[in-house]
Amino acid sequence: MNTALIVIDVQESFRHRPFFTEKDLPAYLAAQNALIEGAVALGLPVIRVLHSDGPEVVDNPFAQASGQVRALEGLTPFEPAATFIKHRHSALVGTGLDVWLTRHGVGRLIISGIRTEQCCETTTRHASDLGWTVDYVTEATLTWDMTQPDGSTLSAADIKLRTGTVLQGRFCTLCSVEQALHRAKEAV
């Protein structure tokens, strides 16, 4: 089964959000970069997905006019097999990614990127519902603490745990970087 690595929203835009912190960034980048480098070494297509929305003005970091809809500093450079710009949470809505994957015979997706519980989770659920086998690499996703409706803080670690809990066995297989690469290699 052909496998593709999807790198979702790993872009400078997030540095300009008030919740951004570098606390978990080094560990995330180490895992994300190892996943990209491993996929490239295996000859897997690596797909770059970037998010752009809101008003197309310079002071909106998610507008292309801002110059921030570009690879996050620290991300290992790679030549994407394809690049898609999305305007919704799922990388499969209105981008043509689904068509590209189908045309290239991709049956398994490795999901990574930013944010764990938002675009990565949504794309995972959507891809599974459309019939793709999905490996979700939690350590190669990044998120930040969030404020819950009662005002208390939900930590990024708890968000990752919750995301893995609701996805595992229903929409994906949770994998480490090494497991995802091994599964991709075995599927060839």
CA 47 to chain centre: 10
Q: Which residues are CB-neighbours of 149 under 8 A, at least 6 positions away?
A: none
pLDDT of residue 187: 85
- The token pair at 132 is 């793709």
CA 149 to chain centre: 26
- DSSP-derived secondary structure letter, 168: B
Tens-digit pLDDT string for the chain (188 aa): 699 999 999 999 999 999 999 999 999 999 999 999 999 999 999 999 999 999 999 999 999 999 999 999 999 999 999 999 999 999 999 999 999 999 999 999 999 999 999 999 999 999 999 999 999 999 999 999 999 999 999 999 999 999 999 999 999 999 999 999 999 999 87
Q: Which tens digit of pLDDT belongs to each residue from 47-91?
A: 999 999 999 999 999 999 999 999 999 999 999 999 999 999 999
Q: Is the pTM of this model over 0.95?
A: yes
Residue whose token pair is 């297509």:
45
All structural domains of the chain, each given as residue ranges with its CATH number in brackets, are 2-187 (3.40.50.850)
Cis peptide before 115 (omega within 30 of 0): yes
